[in-house]
Amino acid sequence: MTNYVIETHDLTKKYGSQVSVSHLNIHVKRGRIYGLLGRNGAGKTTTMRMLLGLTAPTSGEVSIFGKPFVGNEKKLLPRIGCLIESPGFYPNLTATENLKIFAELRGLKNPNYIKGALELVNLPYRDKKLFSQYSLGMKQRLAIALAVMHDPELLILDEPINGLDPIGIAEVRDFIRELCDARGKTILISSHILSEISLLADDVGIIDHGTLLEEESLKELEEKNEKYIHFCVSEAQKAAQIITRAFRSNNFRLADGNNLYLYDTDLPVASLTRAFVEAGIDVQEAHLCEDTLEDYFKRITGGEGIA
Ligand SMILES: Nc1ncnc2c1ncn2[C@@H]1O[C@H](COP(=O)(O)OP(=O)(O)OP(=O)(O)O)[C@@H](O)[C@H]1O
Ligand SMILES: [Mg+2]
């Protein structure tokens, strides 16, 4: 019996000769938010579609709540809420009427389900506005309301902030966090926006060209960021000698005659600077730097950054 709510084993999807997802092994823990991060075309949607049985894997397995997905679909799917592609809402009905149709299909009798879901996403209950008159952001919220309406234990949300303005994005982030923290939901969310994942996820899977490059907690990921003290001085070589002799460290790199990068970040910047100045070295810059997640992402994908 596994502790993971979602676990995949060598999950692979090929379209003809194109490999969209390759030997993917992801592990989504109970009661946490897992962010699947990757550029456009990385394989996020294909992965989520396979998790939900919307497309069959070419090879590999999916297990959900510790059970193989194949053969247990009928038991597992009611425990999952998803937003993969826009649901087919009726344009000439209101939000409440639309949700009512889906509630009936799912056998949900109590109207509180609809009211609760709309409240969660900040849309009015029994409002007269038709779906066709909704803004893109409102449509997206309604799609999320539909995903959570039956109070599932697991939510799979493919780029839920697409089409939202900055305030809408912050609101969605807040209620996704609340669903996890206050209601104990497990959430798998995909995004191509690094800052979004870093603000929301507890665990992160980085997918690139269909391959999972990293999987770890956000905390671990952040700790991997390189830290260093950057000195821009008149004589870097002389500064290096002072660091070696007076501060007993060789853990630095000289970039050129003026720039020195010191990786012993515990050494006191003020004392170092004073020692340099006393030795007649001009100090133009001295500060503690840290690589951003963006730098890290670039490093491991060996390419361009991500927004
Ligand atoms: N039905 C399909 N037939 C052929 N190729 C497909 C199909 N669906 C996806 N692909 C290809 O698989 C790769 C992964 O696509 P996918 O939609 O999973 O990426 P994504 O990470 O969700 O990207 P985005 O951020 O743009 O949504 C892409 O190269 C895409 O062209
Ligand atoms: Mg996608």
pLDDT in tens, 50-107: 999 999 999 999 999 999 999 999 999 999 999 998 888 999 999 999 999 999 988 8
Q: Structure pTM? A: 0.83
At 180 the pLDDT is 94
Structure tokens at 22: 């390759």
Evaluate whether 270 touches 288 at the Cβ level (below 8 Å). Answer: no
- The lowest-confidence range among 54-58, 89-93, 166-170, 181-185 is 166-170
Structure tokens at 82: 């998803």
Is 85 touching ligand 1 by the criterion CB < 6 Å?
no
Domain boundaries defined on the chain: 4-93+145-223, 227-290
Determine the Cα–Cα distance for residues 78 and 151; give it in Å rounded to an integer. Answer: 9
pLDDT at 2 over 70: no
Q: Using CA atoms in the order 174, 178, 180, 182, what is the torsion angle rounded to 10 degrees? A: 170
User: Which backbone phi and psi does 89 adopt, to 5 degrees?
Assistant: -80, 150
Q: Pick the residue whose CA is nearest to atom 11 on ligand 1.
A: 20
Residue found by looking up tokens 């821009």 in the block: 232
Is 191 touching ligand 1 by the criterion CB < 6 Å?
no
* CATH architecture for residues 227-290: 2-Layer Sandwich (3.30)
Counting ligands in written order, which one lies closest to the CA of residue 85? Answer: 2
Residue found by looking up tokens 């234990």 in the block: 153
Give exposure, 50-75, as e/b (b: 16+ Cβ within 10 Å).
bbbeebebeebebbbbeeebeeeeee
Q: Pick the residue whose CA is nearest to atom 7 on ligand 1.
A: 15
Residue 11 CA to its chain's centroid (Å): 20
Residue found by looking up tokens 């997206």 in the block: 140
Q: What share of the chain is helix, strand, coil (3-state, %, to 5)?
A: 35, 30, 35
- Burial class from Cβ neighbours inside 10 Å (0-12, 13-18, 19+) for residue 203 reads buried
Quickly name the fold that domain 4-93+145-223 has: Rossmann fold (3.40.50)
Counting ligands in written order, which one lies closest to the CA of residue 56? Answer: 1
pLDDT in tens, 266-303: 999 999 999 999 999 999 999 998 877 787 888 788 76
Evaluate whether 276 touches 283 at the Cβ level (below 8 Å). Answer: yes
